[in-house]
Structure formats: structure tokens, C-alpha cells
Amino acid sequence: MMTADKESALQTNHQVPGKKQTTLGLYVTAKEAYAMWEGEPESIHVIDVRTPEEYVFVGHPEMAVNIPVGYVEQKWDSKENDFVLMPNADFVASVNNRYSPSDTLLVMCRSGNRSAFAANLLAKAGFSKVYNIIDGMEGDKVDDPGSDYHGKRMQDGWKNSGAPWTYDVNLDLLRIPAT
């Protein structure tokens, strides 16, 4: 079981940008999240809040349950330069159906922003041990004009951490919206 000192260290040892901050203040990197899960796979749970399309086509941690915090709407948001994300009204209920508020949840998205939003929704619903995986599945964009990876999500993240991930789909771990 994780000690209070170790939990406190995970809360404070990260410089967390505003969009990735949560009300609970619990943060881990993808590498730390995998180590936590690996140490206690029966009691620590990884939730991937990306869309089912991202989960399947970009890949996902082998143990991650996909419970999207939103779904892509086929409309473009010029201000955000991205597709509109329609909130998943069943997000908290779906998490509640699988986990209890005292469970340790490690929440991830692409890069840590949506997972912060999801962690805040869960905190508001009474979950108390929800960690935001601040570098997500793909990590942050490389900000180095001299790099071949400039502008690409190659900085940190689950995919770049050495932790296992897959494109294989286990339907027991995938949440597809009802039609």
C-alpha cells in the first residue's frame, strides 16, 4: 500500500500547468503511474478518458479501462482548432458503476488536460484518490524548432515512457456510447 509520504511526494514534485491542475492536487507522470499500477494492480486502476477512437487508433495502456469524458461531435471549433467535444453525461455514473469513491484511480487522456477535467468531475462526485497522469498517453509537443520532432507529441507520455501499451481491443475495457 502507498505510504502517506510517497503520496504527498507525488502531489508536490511536479510543475503542473494550469489546465492540468485538479482540485485534489494529485499528479503523476505516465512512468510513475505505471510503477504505481505495477506495484498494486488489484487496487490501483487506470482510466483512459479519451474518445473510443483515440483509445483504439492511437493505442492505450494494456490495463486501461476506456470511459470517455466526451465524444467527438462532427463539428469544427475554429477557436480551439479542433473538433468539438460533446460531454459524456454518463461519465461519472460509468465510473461509479465500476469503482468505489475510495479506490485509487489514475486518469489519463492525450496530454493531461481532459484528464484534469475528468478528475475534477470525479472529485466533485466524492472520489478522493484520483491522480491526473499529467503527460497522458502521447505527452506534450516538442518545442524545439531544431528538432525533427518539433510540434509532435514526443515529449514524455505513456507511449514514450517505456510502459506497455497496445492497439489490441478488449471489449470489456472499452466503453462505446449507446446508439
CATH code of 4-163, in short, is 3.40.250.10
81: left (phi over 0), alpha (psi -120 to 50) or beta: left
**The pLDDT value given to residue 179:** 56
**What pTM was estimated for this model as a whole?**
0.87
Count of C-beta atoms within a 10 Å radius of residue 174: 17
Q: Which residues of the chain have pLDDT under 70?
A: 1-13, 154, 178-179
Give domain limits for the chain. Answer: 4-163
Q: How far is CA 153 from CA 103, 110, 148, 159, in A?
A: 30, 9, 12, 10
**The pLDDT value given to residue 127:** 98
What dihedral do alpha carbons 145, 148, 150, 154 form, nearest 10°? -150
